[in-house]
């Protein structure tokens, strides 16, 4: 794969998202080799309709389903994965799907014990429904027991976000937490300080996703208009604008970036790891966890919580749910309403005094 990417780096710039797609396609091919042969038709049909990330997630989920049949269903005790043919889907009843749903809560994956909460269960059952629907629609099978089983409900969780004073504390902490450090810890802090401050300020000041952040190239930053070009879910490009604080943090980091000699193939990345490669999602998650853990122990702060913080603040300041949906890149404004408008207690409380039943 590295040779494949290097070849394209020689001839044209390959974006982070293109590289991610290449990686996912290769992963999908590897997973398909472990699945029953007939599954290839389904994933080929999904190709123009879904992202590579969705397809690889579904492939892993479908593999769990067939492993469940091998491990738990006596009818298939003498089968191997490759023995399954499409007619096996017609042999299963709704109760088999219900048993699979129960199995997903806790199951063994080699030496590991895997668990699924509400969201994990819903995704895996949704993947199986989509899988069955394809073969039923194309008349490979005559029954579809997945539609007879309710998709697990998910309960909305309270949005965890930083309060205004906590945002200030977090940024102050990143700027000054190394003042008392010495030796190698101080060296590492100074080496990563401007990068970390720029990343956290950018996440808090624009609400972009962590995947969008790590995918940024230096050419995506436009200081003339104070905007960054991000690639949203589904591959759509959009310019997200930022304010003075983000501009200041990015410019200070770019001064440091000038002195970094990147590893070949990573020349365009905006943010670098200490290995001089494009920083990864997990590295950003770890640095946010490290700094946020020092200013609050009651909130589990992740990059997505910084996104929630931005969305909440933007809605409170503007009251424009459509603006929030647009900037956050939500395809459906109802998603935004569900998360942000529902928590607008200040406006809701006005209802208590807005209606008068009798004159005083």
Domain positions in the chain: 2-148, 164-343
Give burial (CB, 10 Å; 0-12/13-18/19+) of 194: buried
Rounded Cα distance between 246 and 98, Å, is 50
pLDDT tens per residue across span 163-193 = 999 999 999 999 999 888 899 999 999 999 9
**Predicted confidence (pLDDT) at residue 2 exceeds the cutoff of 70:** no
Superfamily grouping for domain 164-343: Intergrase catalytic core (1.10.443.10)
Rounded Cα distance between 237 and 178, Å, is 37
Rounded Cα distance between 347 and 360, Å, is 24
Backbone angles phi, psi at 323, to 5 degrees: -65, -45
**Predicted confidence (pLDDT) at residue 25 exceeds the cutoff of 50:** yes
Rounded Cα distance between 156 and 233, Å, is 22
**Contact 311/329 with Cβ under 8 angstroms?**
no
Q: What is the DSSP letter of 140?
A: S
Predicted local confidence at residue 339, as pLDDT: 75
Rounded Cα distance between 70 and 243, Å, is 56
- Domain 2-148: state its class: mainly alpha
pLDDT tens per residue across span 297-353 = 999 999 999 999 999 999 888 888 888 888 998 888 887 877 776 555 555 555 555
CB atoms within 10 A of CB 264: 10
Q: What is the mean pLDDT of the chain?
A: 90
Predicted local confidence at residue 261, as pLDDT: 96
């Amino acid at each position: 794969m590295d040779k494949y990417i290097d070849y394209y780096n020689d001839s044209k710039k390959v974006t982070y998202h293109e590289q991610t797609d290449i990686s996912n396609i290769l992963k999908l091919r590897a997973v398909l080799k472990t699945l029953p042969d007939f599954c290839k038709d389904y994933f080929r049909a999904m190709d123009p309709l879904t992202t590579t990330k969705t397809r690889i997630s579904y492939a892993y989920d479908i593999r769990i389903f067939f492993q469940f049949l091998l491990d738990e269903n006596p009818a298939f005790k003498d089968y191997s994965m490759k023995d399954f043919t499409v007619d096996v889907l017609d042999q299963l009843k709704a109760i088999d799907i219900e048993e699979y749903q129960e199995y997903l809560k806790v199951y063994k994956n080699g030496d590991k014990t895997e668990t699924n909460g509400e969201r994990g269960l819903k995704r895996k059952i949704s993947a199986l429904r989509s899988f069955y629907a394809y073969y039923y629609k194309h008349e490979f099978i005559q029954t579809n027991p997945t539609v007879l089983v309710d998709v697990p409900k998910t309960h909305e969780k309270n949005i965890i976000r930083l309060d205004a004073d906590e945002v200030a504390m977090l940024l102050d902490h990143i700027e000054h937490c190394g003042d008392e450090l010495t030796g190698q810890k101080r060296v590492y802090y100074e080496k990563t300080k401007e990068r970390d401050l720029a990343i956290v300020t950018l996440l808090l000041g624009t609400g972009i996703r962590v995947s969008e952040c790590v995918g940024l190239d230096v050419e995506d930053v436009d200081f003339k208009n104070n905007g960054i070009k991000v690639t949203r879910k589904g591959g759509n490009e959009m310019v997200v604008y930022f304010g003075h604080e983000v501009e200041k943090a990015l410019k200070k980091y770019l001064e440091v970036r000038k002195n970094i000699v990147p590893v070949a193939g990573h020349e365009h990345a905006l943010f670098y790891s200490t290995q001089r490669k494009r920083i990864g999602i997990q590295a950003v998650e770890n640095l946010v966890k490290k700094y946020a853990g020092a200013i609050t122990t009651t909130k589990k702060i992740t990059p997505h919580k910084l996104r929630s913080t931005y969305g909440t603040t933007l809605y409170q300041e503007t009251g424009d749910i459509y603006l929030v949906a647009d900037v956050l890149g939500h395809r459906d404004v109802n998603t935004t309403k569900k998360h942000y408008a529902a928590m607008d207690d200040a406006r809701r409380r006005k209802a208590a005094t807005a209606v008068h039943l009798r004159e005083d």
